[in-house]
Chain A
């Protein structure tokens, strides 16, 4: 059965935009499984439920688990996670020191997506760059740190061999929801406005997600809107 694995960052973006309600219908149309890992569950439910600020969001996400929209992957991923974590966090060196790029929870999700040959849904930028364009990430570090970065070529080669996932973000899921008509209640015309509601909806989804942490650029938003015919 096909599947998607969600990183914390994607669930957080959707939650902060009150778009969690899209997930049950998207899952139904996807006709597959939506997974999160135990570490992701800790970040999006267990920890915030103990705070005041994001407790409500955590409860809403918890409901998605209770109704089986999101499933917690139950098996051990420690070996795969540790292997990838070692490769990634010993990839870039600056001033004779390997830079810790990512944390274990992020890598656990990647390990799961890789294991299941699932689509990896991640809004966070770094891990996407490591998978899709590590040289660009190296260049970013060099520009920001004004320091030469050395790539551990052996680790890079190993990572390219090990990882084979396709990545999407909450922004792409939002556009899928739009194109499937899941958001049609938001484009009902009324006599008070002259807005092109469909364009406003697509613009609102993409900017809303971007402003709550989805790593999509303004240029990409413009291209996406053009691709949707706006």
Chain B
């Protein structure tokens, strides 16, 4: 692993552990934004996993109404434990174990009240789409973003259509494009 890239990921995950301990949503959101940079350029699994996890934690910890639910304390301490483990594994270049630690956080949703489990599982899916949309906004194609984040191009296209992505990227006078299109049907 390139040392600069690894240092960047370690920095993110270290700050994430501290931010989750303090339930500092502002910091978690900022870290989520920072993950887009490496995800756009490198589009690797490590960047993807931390990007999705950071955004998911931002969403989950923002649901303060869940803090009183059955299993929350255990779930929360599992998050902290697995994030810390992920950090250690990354420090030691144990990439598979790093990935497993992040996956364990998703699986630990099963510790929670069944009534909220589905909603939280959905958060992870939605986070993947949100992150795919962000890298599309940065200039990556829809198909490539869908492939990197392992989401459906249908879901991604529906989502990005609701954002302002297409406000940037005028490449030709639309009147000329329309004229050309009409000329094909004459």
List the interface of chain A (C-beta within 8 A of B): 2, 4, 8-9, 12-13, 16, 26, 29-30, 43, 47-48, 51, 53-54, 57, 94-95, 97, 99-103, 105-106, 119, 123-129, 132-133, 136-137, 140-141, 144-145, 147, 166-169, 172-173, 175-176, 179-180, 210-220, 223-224, 227
Neighbouring A residues of B169 by C-beta, 8 Å = 125, 128-129, 136-137, 140, 215, 217
In the complex, what distance in Å separates the CA atom of A23 from the CA atom of B131? Answer: 33
User: Would you list the 9 A-B pairs with minimal beta carbon distance, nearest first?
Assistant: A213-B157, A126-B141, A132-B171, A172-B181, A103-B143, A213-B161, A215-B166, A144-B138, A133-B171
Q: Which of B142, B157, B180 has the most CB of A within 10 A?
A: B142
Task: Say how far A111's CB is from chain B's closest CB, in angstroms.
Answer: 14
In the complex, what distance in Å separates the CA atom of A180 from the CA atom of B185? Answer: 9
With contacts A9-B157, A102-B143, A140-B139 taken as known, whether A132 is within 8 angstroms of B178 at the C-beta atoms is no
Q: Determine if B178 and A227 form an interchain contact, defined as CB atoms under 8 angstroms apart.
A: yes
Chain B, residue nearest A142 (CB): B139
Q: Determine if A102 and B174 form an interchain contact, defined as CB atoms under 8 angstroms apart.
A: no
Given known contacts A48-B154, A166-B180, what 8 new A-B pairs fall within 8 Å (CB)? A12-B153, A13-B161, A53-B152, A137-B169, A169-B177, A172-B180, A216-B174, A217-B169
B115 located at the interface, meaning its Cβ lies under 8 Å from any Cβ of chain A in the complex: no
Q: Determine if A145 and B37 form an interchain contact, defined as CB atoms under 8 angstroms apart.
A: yes
Task: Say how far A3's CB is from chain B's closest CB, in angstroms.
Answer: 10
Neighbouring B residues of A43 by C-beta, 8 Å = 143, 153
Q: Which of A100, A145, A219 has the most CB of B within 10 A?
A: A100
B43 located at the interface, meaning its Cβ lies under 8 Å from any Cβ of chain A in the complex: yes
Task: Say how far B136's CB is from chain A's closest CB, in angstroms.
Answer: 8
Neighbouring B residues of A126 by C-beta, 8 Å = 136, 139-142, 144
List the interface of chain B (C-beta within 8 A of A): 4, 37, 40-43, 136-144, 146-148, 152-155, 157-158, 160-162, 165-175, 177-178, 180-182, 184-185
Q: B143, B155, B161, B180: which contacts A214 (Cβ < 8 A)? A: B161
Task: Say how far A1's CB is from chain B's closest CB, in angstroms.
Answer: 13
In the complex, what distance in Å separates the CA atom of A99 from the CA atom of B170? Answer: 22
Q: Determine if A168 and B142 form an interchain contact, defined as CB atoms under 8 angstroms apart.
A: no
Task: Say how far B164's CB is from chain A's closest CB, in angstroms.
Answer: 9
Q: Determine if B177 and A168 form an interchain contact, defined as CB atoms under 8 angstroms apart.
A: yes
Chain A, residue nearest B154 (CB): A54
In the complex, what distance in Å separates the CA atom of A212 from the CA atom of B173? Answer: 22
Neighbouring B residues of A168 by C-beta, 8 Å = 177, 180-181
With contacts A128-B171, A175-B178 taken as known, whether A106 is within 8 angstroms of B141 at the C-beta atoms is yes
Neighbouring A residues of B175 by C-beta, 8 Å = 223-224, 227
Q: Determine if A102 and B141 form an interchain contact, defined as CB atoms under 8 angstroms apart.
A: yes
Q: Determine if A137 and B139 form an interchain contact, defined as CB atoms under 8 angstroms apart.
A: yes
In the complex, what distance in Å separates the CA atom of A210 from the CA atom of B164? Answer: 10
Task: Say how far A50's CB is from chain B's closest CB, in angstroms.
Answer: 11
Q: B41, B173, B184: which contacts A119 (Cβ < 8 A)? A: B184
Q: Determine if B154 and A223 form an interchain contact, defined as CB atoms under 8 angstroms apart.
A: no
Q: Determine if B141 and A217 form an interchain contact, defined as CB atoms under 8 angstroms apart.
A: no
With contacts A119-B184, A166-B180 taken as known, whether A224 is within 8 angstroms of B152 at the C-beta atoms is no
Q: Determine if B166 and A217 form an interchain contact, defined as CB atoms under 8 angstroms apart.
A: yes
